[in-house]
Amino acid sequence: MQFCKNAFMKQLHYLSGILISVFTGIHLFNHVCSIAGADKHIEIMQVLRLFYRNALAETILLAAVPVQIISGISLCRKKWRATGGWEKLRIWTGLYMGIFLLVHVTSVLIGRAVLHLDTNFYFGVAGLNTFPFSLFFIPYYGLAVLSFFGHIAAVHYRKMKCSLSGLSPENQSKAILFFGILFTVVIFYGLTNHFRGVTIPQKYDVLIGK
C-alpha cells in the first residue's frame, strides 16, 4: 500500500512539475525580453498570455501548484538526512520553490483581484528597484530562479545514467547550474538596468507604500 502511495505521489509530482516547468520557462523567457525595455516585455507578455491566461490553462496551472507542493513534501519527508550533494540540492531547492510558488502566486492573485492591477512588468520591478524593498526582492527572486535551475540540475543528475557529448552526468548537471547562474544575471540586468529610464505608473505605488 505504501509503495502504491509513493508511486502515485511521484507521478503527481512529475506531471505537475512538467506543467509548472513549461510555464516557468515561458515566464523566464519573457523576463529576458526586458533587456529590450519595459514596452517589449509587456508586448511579448500580452502574446504569451493568450496561451496561459485563459480559463482552462490557468485553472490547470493553479491546480498544479498545490499538487506540486504537497506531493513534494510527501516525497521528501524521509530524505531530510540525504548525504549526496545533488540529493541535498534537489531537496532544498524544491522546498524553496514550494515556498516561492505559494507566496508568489498568492501575491499575483491578490494584485489582480484585490488591488486591481495588471501584474505585468511594473508589478514585478516596483519593489525590486526600490530601496529598502530591494533588500528583500533581489534575493527573493534571485534564489527562485537559481532554485529552478538547481532543481532541474539535481533531477537530471539523478535520472541521467550515461555521458553526452563527452560530459559525465555530473558535469552535465554542473553545466545546467552554470547556465542558470548566467540566466539569472541576464534577467536581473533586464529588470533593473532599464529601470532608470522607466516611469512606473502611479497606481503601482501601492506596492511600495506610497
DSSP track, 159-179: H--S-BTTB-HHHHHHHHHHH
The helix/strand/coil state of 160 is coil
Domain that holds residue 124: 2-208
pLDDT tens digit at each of 210 positions of the chain: 545 557 788 888 889 999 999 999 999 999 999 999 899 999 999 999 999 999 999 999 999 999 999 988 887 776 666 667 888 899 899 999 999 999 999 999 999 999 999 999 999 898 888 888 889 999 999 999 999 999 999 988 888 766 666 678 888 899 999 999 999 999 999 998 777 677 888 898 898 877
Give the integer Cα–Cα distance in Å for 123 and 127: 8
The whole model's pTM is what? Answer: 0.89
What's the domain count of the chain? 1
Give yes or no for a contact between 153 and 177, defined as CB atoms under 8 angstroms apart. yes
Q: What is the CATH number for 18?
A: 1.20.1300
